[in-house]
Amino acid sequence: MGASLSNLTEGAPWVRVSRYTGKLCGVRVYLLDATRDFLSKKDIFAQLSRPVPFDDGNKEVWLDRTTGRVCMSISAKGMAITGIEDRRYWNWVPTEESRFHVVAYLQQIWWFEVDGVLKFPFPADIYTLSFRLHLGRFAKRLGRRVCNFEHTHGWDIKPVRFELSTSDGQQASSESCIDETEQEEAYGNHKRGLWIEYKVGEFVVTDSEPATEVRFSMKQIDCTHSKGGLCVDSVFIIPSDLKEGKRRGFLK
Q: What does the pLDDT profile of the chain (252 residues) look like in tens digits?
A: 444 333 322 343 433 443 344 445 555 555 555 445 566 767 776 777 788 898 999 999 998 888 889 999 999 999 999 999 999 999 999 999 999 999 999 999 999 999 999 999 999 999 999 999 999 999 888 888 999 999 999 999 999 999 999 999 999 999 999 997 654 555 555 789 999 999 999 999 999 889 999 999 999 999 999 999 999 999 999 999 987 766 544 444
CA-nearest of 237, 128, 251, 244 to 185 is 251
Q: How many helices (H) and strands (E) does the chain have?
A: 4, 16
pLDDT recorded at residue 31 = 57
Domains of the chain and any CATH numbers? 65-251 (2.60.120.260)
Side-chain-side CA neighbours of 140 within 13 Å: the count stands at 7
Cα–Cα distance, 64 to 81 (Å, whole number): 29
CB 129 within 8 A of CB 122: no
What is the per-residue pLDDT for 165? 98
Identify the pLDDT of residue 107. Answer: 96
Among left, alpha and beta (phi > 0; psi -120 to 50; other), residue 57 is left
**Which pLDDT belongs to residue 5?**
37
> Which has the closest alpha carbon to 229: 114, 151, 138?
151
Quote the pTM value.
Answer: 0.81
Q: What is the pLDDT of residue 235?
A: 98
Are 26 and 209 in contact by the 8 Å Cβ rule? The answer is: yes
**Element containing residue 24 per DSSP (H, E):** helix 21-31
Detail the DSSP E strand segments found in 5-136.
52-54, 59-63, 70-75, 80-81, 90-94, 102-106, 112-120, 125-135
- What pLDDT does residue 27 have? 59
Measured CA to CA, the distance from residue 151 to residue 8 in angstroms comes to 48
What pLDDT is stored for residue 43 in this prediction?
Answer: 73
Cβ partners under 8 Å of residue 35, min gap 6: none
For 19, 108, 152, 177, 190, the CA distances from 184, given in Å and listed in that order, are: 45, 25, 18, 12, 6
Q: Is 25 helix (H, G, I), strand (E, B) or coil?
A: helix
Contact 46, 63 (CB under 8 A): no
